[in-house]
Amino acid sequence: MTAMSFVYLAAILFAIGAAAVLLRRNAIVAFMGVELMLNAANLVLVAFSRMYGELDGQIMAFFVMVVAAAEVVVGLAIIIALFRARQTISLDEPAELKG
Amino acid sequence: MQSLIWLAIAIPLASAAFLLVAGKRADAWGHWVGVVASSAAFLVGAGALLEMLGQDAANRATTLTLWEFIPGSDLNVNVGLLVDPLSITFVMLITFVGTLIHFYSVAYMEHDVARRRFFAYLNLFIAAMLLLVLADSYLLLFFGWEGVGLASYLLIGFWNHRNEYATAANKAFVVNRIGDIGLIIAMGMMFAAFGAVDFTTVFAEAPEASTATLTAIGLALLLAACGKSAQFPLQSWLGDAMAGPTPVSALIHAATMVTAGVYLIVRSAPIFNGAPNAQLVVAVVGAITLLLGAFIGMAKDDIKKALAASTMSQIGYMMLAAGLGPIGYAFAIFHLLTHGFFKAGMFLGAGSVMHAMNDQVDMRRFGALRGVMVITWVTFGLGWLAILGIPPFSGYWSKDKIIEAAFVGEGWQPWVLGGAALIGAGLTAFYMSRLFFMTFHGKARWTDDVHPHESSPLMTVPMIVLAVGSAFLGLFMATGDRFTHFLEPVTGHAEHHDPVIPIPVIIALTLALVIVGAAVAWMKYGRADVPETAPAGSLATITARNDFFQDGVNRAVFQRPGQHLTRTLVYADAAIVDGAVNKQAHGWARLGEASRKLQTGQVRSYAATMLVGVVLIALIIVVGGL
Amino acid sequence: MVSEVLFWIVAALTVIPSLALLFAKRPVHIAMSIVLVMVGLAAAYVGLGAPFLGVVQIVVYTGAVMMMFLFVMMLVGVDNAEDMRETIKGQKWIGFLAAGGLGILLISVIGDASIEPRLTDTVGNPEGVAMILFSEYVLVMEVLGFLLITAAVGALVLTHVPRLTPRRTQVELQAARVLAGANPVNKPMPGVYARHNALDVPALDPQGQPIEESVSRVLEIRRQTQDGQEFRAQLEDTDNPDHEARPHGAPSRDADTRNTRDGEEPK
């Protein structure tokens, strides 16, 4: 069992996260799908770091985490603002992007 | 004064602009402004003439460059005025007759509410016509050409509340446009051949150009001349143009504007001299028109339309002369000058008659006006004698020379052209006498409500002046070939040729025909009773009465096929050119509609699109092994 | 080498809870499942020789990010279960097919990849990470600091609602209430009986009549109130053996007569 197995695992998690973004109407849930995708990427970075015996992968994963934290803060703020404006966080409601 | 000749154009133009914008407050005195402007133009012209007469015959052409019009390009055109014997002749004719008619109009239009506007148009016409004859390039001439066309259109349709008058104005405008195309094409060919459109360059280079080029230019110029001068086959507008007030008919459609075509041909003499075929066409067109006009004139009962037909016919004489080459140019202009006087005089007389007869124009309801309108009768009679060509009145000196010149040449040409001119003289005598006798002699066939009276001095004085001109101008000019020599710097010296028939024989024949024509007219319309309604008449009479069905012919030959052609082109344009473009545009619009459906506004659909795209690209990369 | 046991535990701990993202209805359940996933990933990091990241994962994700999600859920309403019926035509199929296709594609690519692992087996340690972080990547660290501050300020700006009217003090509120005709004194307390905490039973006035306004208005709206008469009857009925048998401390008749909230199972 090598670190490669974790890469497979990460691929599965990434696909699940992507499916969540597509299928869930609740903005918070879709957002959690995005988080899962980020974490899957992190797992790949750490696994490769392990495989190559370099620490840079971990550093990258760390940066991803920091950026994800910042992104979560802003994203959740946007969700709250959306909720205040529309009394809902359903992704189907703000159909103002309609052409 | 020659350097100030631009004032002759500027003053009437400024007066026209002033009268148009001055508004109602100028209604009471505005017409006098017009008269003064026209008189000032005459004084400027007279000064220039006197200055010119003081110069050597060789130095009489002066070019006055005002400003650069189209500078610096391949086509370099200046706004310049050319003062030479030919143009000064026209300036004098236009301003003198024009001023007389301005005076006449003050009385004639006295009761018209729009008299100020009428004088504005008249002044505009004077300015444009002077620009036409004084221009030193074809392009500037074209401006005057269009300007007189505009003034003519405005004045024919002056009473445009009458539908048929407005239609007549439109007709004149449209027919004139056909001629204008000829002038534009001629200018284009000149630019292509000589790289310039000013007279100096074009005439200097014309002798070197090929005959074909010169013939093409000449024919295009002839088309322009036909449009403006109502020559066959573009003659149809002149009769209807009589819808305008009678002073307009006298000034524009008898004395000046319609002769612009003759001016164009004579001015373009160096071009025509190099193109004998074009000259022949000019002469033939003139001959056809002079007979056509004469036939129409014989059948018309409307006094103005009969005079219009006569104008057409007389301009046919001038064109015939212009087509004869150097021997005819001077006579063409000479006849133009005398015709300007006697025809304007007769039109003014007709206006005076109409004024007395409650604006009736049907000669069958005139008659016996000699007693009540003595001055009109005498002045009109002098004009009548002049146009008949009775010596020593003006017409004799000019028309007889044309007939003589027409008989000069070889082969069939002198016989055909001279014969036409000779027959035309007889016909002219008949129809003018018919007109004269029907109007002034015989029994009174007046309608009950008319009370004929002589017109006011303001109208009769110009008529008298013109009648004096009709009587003696020809004699004065012809004495010692004075006028021919005067024009020689422009028209060139003509070698003397003997006609195919001896000159005394021609003169005798002409006079005999004239007398026969006048006598027949006296028998039929002077002594005999004239029916108050027109008899049915023979086929020939009906044909002539309907202007040789010119409108129908135009409709069948030009309008209908033109319409069909236009419709076909429009259809082709819509179906093929527009069709392709529109179909393409519709295609894009439909594509847009289709892609708009993709734009659902659903965030998740967008996310799905992105993911599907990513998967597809990845698939291509993986499977394609890129 | 990585322990096989660890891998399978991690796999089970991540894939199964993450499926909640697709199939669970209540956001809170999903959030808790994701917490599990994050913990599983932390375990994987530790197992892959990155203990520092494992700790950071626990602290940042489970401790901060997921808790923030939960707070937001509380703000926008915890218990609104999502209707799982799909509203966009074909979205379900597109979603599953695209995500599944992506997964298969990724796995096939990973299967094709031939990476020769270097078995140096260097275990990532906080010191090693710190050495690289503060030497090679120090500038990135600084930039990340800016990013975090910007994000914090951005969140404040996004969620800040400006006050349009001046804040009213308690004194003003009281004055307004009195002006509106409110009773200046306290309402009477609800009735208290020996065997019941009786917030839902009105007090009795000296004539023995219940005072309606002594019961909280909230209970009235929920229709969880009782009147004194009924309760007295229950009190007199205590020797009924049926009631004694009930495990509840509350009087037996109490539960039966109470109208429960809509949609909840009666207890």
* pLDDT confidence band for C249 (50 / 70 / 90): very low
Residues contacting residue B273 through CB under 8 Å, at least 6 positions apart: B206, B207, B279, B325, B326, B492
Q: What is the 3-state secondary structure (H, E, C) of B41-105?
A: HHHHHHHHHHHHHCCCHHHCCEEEEEEEEECCCCCCEEEEEEECHHHHHHHHHHHHHHHHHHHHH
Domain assignment of residue C169, yes or no: no
- Which residue of chain A comes nearest to B592, CA vs CA? A99
pLDDT surpasses 50 at C260? no
Distance from CA of B597 to the nearest CA of A (A): 8
Q: What is the ipTM of this complex?
A: 0.90
Distance from CA of A77 to the nearest CA of C (A): 5
Among C88, C99, C105, the residue with its CB nearest the CB of B605 is C88
- What DSSP character marks residue B496? P
Q: What are phi and psi of C245, to 5 degrees?
A: -70, -15
Contact at CB, A99 and B601, closer than 8 angstroms: yes
Cα B456 to Cα B32, B110, B115, B375, B450: the distances in Å are 17, 11, 17, 10, 17
Distance from CA of B599 to the nearest CA of A (A): 5
Contact at CB, A21 and B596, closer than 8 angstroms: no
**A23 vs B contacts (CB less than 8 Å):** 604
B614 has a chain C CB within 8 A of its CB: yes
Range of the domain at C197: 188-257
pLDDT at C230: 64
Q: Where are the alpha helices (DSSP H) in B300-393?
A: 303-323, 326-356, 374-388
- Which residue carries 């760390």 as its tokens? A62
B163 has a chain C CB within 8 A of its CB: no
A69 has a chain B CB within 8 A of its CB: no
C130 has a chain A CB within 8 A of its CB: no
* pLDDT confidence band for C43 (50 / 70 / 90): very high
The residues of chain B scoring below 70 in pLDDT are: 1, 72-73, 626
Distance between CA B136 and CA B198 in Å, rounded?
6
Contact at CB, B611 and C98, closer than 8 angstroms: yes
Contact at CB, C91 and B612, closer than 8 angstroms: no
Of C30, C55, C79, at which residue does a domain stop? C79
Distance from CA of B565 to the nearest CA of C (A): 56
- Work out the average pLDDT over C70-93: 78
Of C49, C79, C109, at which residue does a domain stop? C79
**B601 vs A contacts (CB less than 8 Å):** 94-99
- Work out the average pLDDT over C37-55: 91
Of C79, C104, C139, at which residue does a domain stop? C79
What percentage of chain C carries pLDDT values higher than 90?
Answer: 24
Q: Are B412 and B360 in contact (CB under 8 A)?
A: no
A74 has a chain B CB within 8 A of its CB: no
Distance from CA of A34 to the nearest CA of C (A): 11
pLDDT at A10: 93
Closest by alpha carbon to C14, among C42, C36, C45?
C36
**Secondary structure class of B362 (helix, strand, coil):** strand
- Which residue carries 């002098």 as its tokens? B382
Among C91, C99, C102, the residue with its CB nearest the CB of B605 is C91
Distance between CA C215 and CA C208 in Å, rounded?
16
Cα B312 to Cα B90, B238, B426, B432, B515: the distances in Å are 19, 8, 16, 13, 22
* Higher-confidence position of A32 and C202: A32
pLDDT at C234: 61
Chains in contact with C, where contact means 3 or more Cβ–Cβ distances below 8 Å, are: A, B
Q: What b/e sequence results for C52-74 when a residue is b if at least 16 CB atoms lie within 10 Å of its CB, and e otherwise?
A: bbbebbbebbbeebbebbbebbe
Contact at CB, B622 and C105, closer than 8 angstroms: yes
Domain assignment of residue C102, yes or no: no
Among C14, C19, C117, the residue with its CB nearest the CB of A2 is C117
pLDDT at C248: 43
Contact at CB, A16 and C94, closer than 8 angstroms: no
Contact at CB, A51 and C11, closer than 8 angstroms: no
pLDDT surpasses 50 at C251? no
Contact at CB, B615 and C105, closer than 8 angstroms: yes
Q: Are A90 and A26 in contact (CB under 8 A)?
A: yes
Distance between CA B191 and CA B77 in Å, rounded?
11
Q: Are B36 and B122 in contact (CB under 8 A)?
A: no
- Which residue of chain B comes nearest to A91, CA vs CA? B603
Distance between CA C31 and CA A28 in Å, rounded?
9
Domain assignment of residue C53, yes or no: yes
Q: Is the dihedral of CA B125, B130, B135, B138 positive or negative?
A: positive
Contact at CB, B604 and C91, closer than 8 angstroms: yes
Among C91, C105, C108, the residue with its CB nearest the CB of B608 is C91
B620 has a chain C CB within 8 A of its CB: no
Contact at CB, A99 and B606, closer than 8 angstroms: no
- Which residue carries 């009394």 as its tokens? A87
Domain ranges of chain A: 4-92
- Which residue carries 């002046």 as its tokens? B465
Q: Where are the alpha helices (DSSP H) in chain C?
A: 4-18, 20-23, 27-47, 51-56, 66-76, 91-112, 126-133, 138-159, 170-179, 217-222, 228-236, 241-244, 252-257
Q: Are B187 and B197 in contact (CB under 8 A)?
A: yes
Contact at CB, A65 and C133, closer than 8 angstroms: no
A·B CB contacts under 8 A: 36
C92-116 tens-digit pLDDT: 888 899 999 999 988 888 888 777 7
String of DSSP letters for B428-488 = HHHHHHHHHHHHHSS-----TT----PPPHHHHHHHHHHHHHHHHHHHHHHGGGHHHHHHH
C203-237 tens-digit pLDDT: 777 887 777 777 777 777 777 766 666 666 665 66
- What DSSP character marks residue B575? I
C169 has a chain A CB within 8 A of its CB: no
Among A7, A62, A89, the residue with its CB nearest the CB of C76 is A89
Distance from CA of B602 to the nearest CA of C (A): 8
Domain assignment of residue C176, yes or no: no
Contact at CB, A97 and B611, closer than 8 angstroms: no
Distance between CA B100 and CA B96 in Å, rounded?
6
Domain assignment of residue C27, yes or no: yes
For Cα atoms B63, B68, B71, give the angle at the middle one, nearest 5 degrees.
125
Cα C187 to Cα B464, C174, C184, C216, C227: the distances in Å are 124, 15, 9, 10, 17
Contact at CB, C86 and A23, closer than 8 angstroms: yes
String of DSSP letters for B507-542 = HHHHHHHHHHHHHHHIIIIIISPPPSS-----HHHH
Domain ranges of chain B: 327-535, 555-624
pLDDT surpasses 90 at A65? yes
Domain count along chain C: 2
C142 has a chain A CB within 8 A of its CB: no
A18 has a chain B CB within 8 A of its CB: yes
B·C CB contacts under 8 A: 30
Interface of C with B in 56-85 (CB under 8 A): none
**C88 vs B contacts (CB less than 8 Å):** 600, 602, 604-605
Lowest-pLDDT range of A19-33, A67-81, B592-606 = B592-606
pLDDT at A98: 57
Distance between CA B231 and CA B147 in Å, rounded?
20
pLDDT at C33: 93
Distance between CA C182 and CA C175 in Å, rounded?
10
- Work out the average pLDDT over C168-178: 87
Contact at CB, A1 and C2, closer than 8 angstroms: yes
pLDDT surpasses 60 at A97? no
The domain made up of A4-92 is a member of CATH 3.40.1010.10:
no
- What DSSP character marks residue B135? B
B600 has a chain C CB within 8 A of its CB: yes
